[in-house]
Amino acid sequence: MDPDEFRRAGHAVIDWIADYWATLEQRPVTRADPPGTVAAALPAAPPGHGEPVDAVLADLDRIVVPGLTHWQHPGFFGYFPANTSGPSLLGDLISSGLGVQGMLWATSPACTELETVMMDWLAQLTDLPGKFRSSGSGGGVIQDSASSATLVATLAALHRASGGRWRDAGIDRRYRAYTSVHGHSSIEKAVRIAGLGSDGVRPVEADRETHALRQAALRAAIEADLAAGDVPAIVVATIGTTSTTAIDPLPEIGAICAEYGIWLHVDAAYAGAAAVCPELRWAQAGLEYADSYCFDPHKWLLTGFDCDAFWVADRAELVEALTVLPEFLRNAASESGAVIDYRDWQVPLGRRFRALKLWFVLRWYGAEGLRAHIRSGVALAARFADQVRADERFELAAAHPFSLVCFRLRADDDTNAELLARVNRTGRVHLTHTRVGDRYTLRLAIGSPQTAERHVDEAWTLLTAAADDLLAR
Amino acid sequence: MDPDEFRRAGHAVIDWIADYWATLEQRPVTRADPPGTVAAALPAAPPGHGEPVDAVLADLDRIVVPGLTHWQHPGFFGYFPANTSGPSLLGDLISSGLGVQGMLWATSPACTELETVMMDWLAQLTDLPGKFRSSGSGGGVIQDSASSATLVATLAALHRASGGRWRDAGIDRRYRAYTSVHGHSSIEKAVRIAGLGSDGVRPVEADRETHALRQAALRAAIEADLAAGDVPAIVVATIGTTSTTAIDPLPEIGAICAEYGIWLHVDAAYAGAAAVCPELRWAQAGLEYADSYCFDPHKWLLTGFDCDAFWVADRAELVEALTVLPEFLRNAASESGAVIDYRDWQVPLGRRFRALKLWFVLRWYGAEGLRAHIRSGVALAARFADQVRADERFELAAAHPFSLVCFRLRADDDTNAELLARVNRTGRVHLTHTRVGDRYTLRLAIGSPQTAERHVDEAWTLLTAAADDLLAR
Span B443-461, average pLDDT: 97
Q: What pLDDT score does A118 carry?
A: 98
Distance CA(B20)–CA(B61), nearest Å, equals 10
DSSP-derived pairing of the beta strands A231-238 and A263-267: parallel
* From B52, B89, B109, residue closest to A67, measured CB to CB: B109
Residues of A in contact with B101 (CB under 8 A): 71, 79, 82, 305
**How buried is A212 (Cβ within 10 angstroms: 0-12 exposed, 13-18 middle, 19+ buried)?**
buried
For A58, the enclosing helix (H) or strand (E) is helix A53-59
Q: Report how far apart the first and last C-alpha atoms of chain B are (Å, whole number).
A: 61
Work out the minimum CA distance from A260 to partner chain B, whole angstroms.
23
Residues B328 and B395 in one domain: no
Q: Is residue B54 part of a domain?
A: yes
Residue B224 belongs to what H/E stretch?
Answer: helix B215-227
Q: Using the beta-carbon criterion (under 8 Å), do A192 and B144 form an inter-chain contact?
A: no
Option in B3, B13, B198 nearest A94 (CB)? B13
- The strand order across the sheet containing A175-180 reads A139-143, A308-312, A292-295, A263-267, A231-238, A175-180, A201-204
Q: Is A109 within 8 Å of B85 when comparing Cβ atoms? A: no
Same domain, B157 and B295: yes
Same domain, B410 and B455: yes
| Cβ proximity of B114 and A62 under 8 Å | no
DSSP annotation of A205: P
Same domain, B294 and B371: no
Can you tell me the distance from the alpha carbon of A15 to that of B337, in angstroms, rounded to the nearest whole number?
A: 38
Question: Nearest CB to B113: which of A21, A38, A326?
Answer: A38
Cα B426 from Cα B31, distance rounded (Å): 9
Quote helix, strand, coil % in chain A, to nearest 5: 50, 15, 35
B198 with B314, same domain? yes
Full DSSP string of B145-187: -HHHHHHHHHHHHHHHHTTT-HHHH---S-EEEEEETTS-HHH
Tell me if A362 sits within 8 A of A121, measured CB to CB. Answer: yes
Lay out the sheet containing B394-396: strands in order across.
B394-396, B404-409, B439-445, B432-436
Do B370 and A49 form a contact (C-beta atoms < 8 A)?
Answer: no
Q: With an 8 Å Cβ cutoff, are A306 and B352 in contact?
A: yes
The residues, any chain, with a CB within 8 Å of residue B329's CB and separated by 6 or more, are: A185, B103, B104, B343
- The whole-chain average pLDDT of chain B stands at 96
Residues near A54 by Cβ (< 8 Å), separated by ≥ 6?
A12
Please check the confidence at residue B338 and state whether its pLDDT lies above 90: no
Cβ contact, residue pair B113, A36, below 8 Å: yes
Nearest CA in chain B to A42: B117
In a domain, B338, yes or no: yes
Contact A17 B37 (CB under 8 A): no
Q: Do B242 and A352 touch (CB under 8 A)?
A: no
- CATH number for A173: 3.40.640.10
Best residue of B2, B98, B188, B267 to probe chain A, by most A CBs closer than 10 Å: B98
Whether the bond into A386 is cis, omega within 30 of 0: no
Measured from the Cβ of residue B163, the count of other Cβ atoms closer than 10 Å reads 8
Where would I find the beta strands (DSSP E) of A72-220?
139-143, 175-180, 201-204
Whether A361 is in a domain gets the answer no
CA nearest to A195, candidates B173, B179, B25, B273? B173
Residues B337 and B416 in one domain: no
Same domain, B76 and B151: no
Query: What is the C-alpha separation between A329 and B297, in angstroms, rounded?
Result: 21
Give the residue on B whose Cα is nearest the Cα of A326: B185
Residue B113 lies in a domain: yes
DSSP class of residue A394 equals: E
| Interchain CB distance below 8 Å, B71 and A148 | no
State whether B334 and B420 are in the same domain.
Answer: no
Return the beta strands (E) in B301-363 as ranges: 308-312
The 3-state DSSP class for residue B292 equals strand
Domain assignment of residue B409, yes or no: yes
Task: With respect to residue A276, please indicate whether it lies within any of the assigned structural domains.
Answer: yes
Q: Does the beta-carbon distance from B38 to A14 stay under 8 Å?
A: no
B441 backbone dihedrals φ, ψ, rounded to 5°: -135, 135
Q: How far apart are the first and last CA of chain A?
A: 61
CB contact under 8 A, B39 and A116: yes
Packing angle of the helix pair A3-23, B86-98 (nearest 10 deg): 10
Cα A444 to chain center, whole Å? 17
Within 10 angstroms of residue B66's Cβ, the number of other Cβ atoms is 16
Lowest mean pLDDT among A36-45, A332-341, B354-363, B451-460: A332-341
Indicate the residue of A84, A98, A198 with minimum beta-carbon distance to B167. A198
Which DSSP category does B73 fall into?
A: S
In this prediction, residue B332 carries a pLDDT of 83
Q: Is the CB of residue A419 less than 8 Å from the CB of residue A431?
A: no
Q: Classify the C-alpha dihedral B172-B174-B177-B181 as positive or negative.
A: positive
Per CB-CB distance under 8 Å, the chain B contacts of A98 are 20, 68, 70-72
Of the candidates B62, B304, B91, B46, the residue with the CA atom closest to the CA atom of residue A9: B91
What's the CA gap between A441 and A406, in Å, rounded? 6
Backbone torsions φ then ψ of B246, nearest 5 degrees: -70, 155
Res B31: pLDDT: 87
A110 contacts in B (CB within 8 Å)?
38, 63-68
Is residue B450 predicted with pLDDT exceeding 80? yes
User: DSSP letters of A409-463?
Assistant: ESS-HHHHHHHHHHHHHTSS-B-EEEEETTEEEEEEE---TT--HHHHHHHHHHH
Q: What angle do CA A152, A157, A159 make, to 5 degrees?
A: 100
- Residue B325: the pLDDT is 83
B149 and B278 assigned to the same domain = yes
Q: What is the mean pLDDT of the segment spanning B226-230?
A: 98
Q: Which domain holds residue A292?
A: 100-352
Residue B159, C-beta contacts closer than 8 angstroms, at least 6 positions apart: B166, B167, B317, B320, B321
Closest CA relative to residue A456, chosen from A398, A396, A388: A388
Q: Which residues of A touch B172 (CB under 8 A)?
A: 197
3-class secondary structure, A175: strand
Cα separation of A461 and B13, whole Å? 41
Q: Which of A19, A148, A155 is opposite residue B348, by nearest beta carbon?
A: A148
Nearest-angstrom CA–CA distance, A307 and A108: 19
Give the Cα separation of A269 and A431 in Å (integer): 19
Q: Which residues of A touch B350 (CB under 8 A)?
A: 82, 144-145, 147, 298, 305-306
Residues B45 and B130 in one domain: no
How many domains does chain A divide into?
A: 1
Give the closest of A18, A348, A443 to B10, CB-based.
A18
Distance CA B353, CA B359 (A): 11
Helical H segments across B34-108, by residue range: 37-41, 53-59, 86-98
Q: Is residue A150 included in any domain, yes or no?
A: yes
Which residues in chain A have Cβ-Cβ distances shorter than 8 Å to B167? 192, 197-198
Cβ neighbours for A420, distance < 8 A, ≥ 6 positions apart: A431, A432, A433, A442
Whether residue B16 and residue A94 make contact (CB cut-off 8 A), yes or no, is yes
Calpha distance A304→A92 (Å, rounded): 8
DSSP reduced 3-state for A404: strand
Q: Determine, for residues A114 and B38 on separate chains, whether the beta-carbon distance falls below 8 Å.
A: yes
Residue A191 lies in a domain: yes
Q: Are residues B382 and B443 in the same domain?
A: yes
Q: Do A86 and B368 touch (CB under 8 A)?
A: no
Instruction: Give the CA diameter of chain A.
Output: 75
Distance from CA of B273 to the nearest CA of A (A): 15
Q: Which of A121, A166, A243 sits opposite B45 (nearest CB)?
A: A121
Is the pLDDT at B235 greater than 80? The verdict is yes
Q: What is the dihedral of CA A383, A387, A390, A396, to 10 degrees?
A: -90
Largest CA distance in chain B: 75
Q: What is the mean pLDDT of each run of 10 residues along chain A (473 residues)?
A: 94 98 95 94 97 97 97 97 96 97 95 98 98 95 98 98 96 97 95 97 96 98 98 98 97 98 98 98 98 98 98 95 84 85 95 98 98 98 98 97 98 97 97 95 96 98 97 86
B39 vs A contacts (CB less than 8 Å): 113-114, 116-117
Beta-sheet strands, E only, within A199-272? 201-204, 231-238, 263-267
What distance in Å separates the CA atoms of residue B71 and residue A101, rounded to the nearest whole number?
A: 7
The answer on pLDDT for B201 being more than 90 is yes
- Residues forming a β-bridge with A340: none
Least Cα distance to A18 among A93, A89, A98 occurs for A89
Closest of B281, B473, B460 to residue B387, by C-alpha: B460
Same domain, B133 and B253: yes
Q: What average pLDDT score do residues B302-329 get?
A: 92
* A chain contacts of residue B325, beta-carbon cutoff 8 Å: 185
Nearest to B147 among A110, A242, A349 (CB): A349
Closest Cα in chain B, distance from residue A387 (Å) = 24
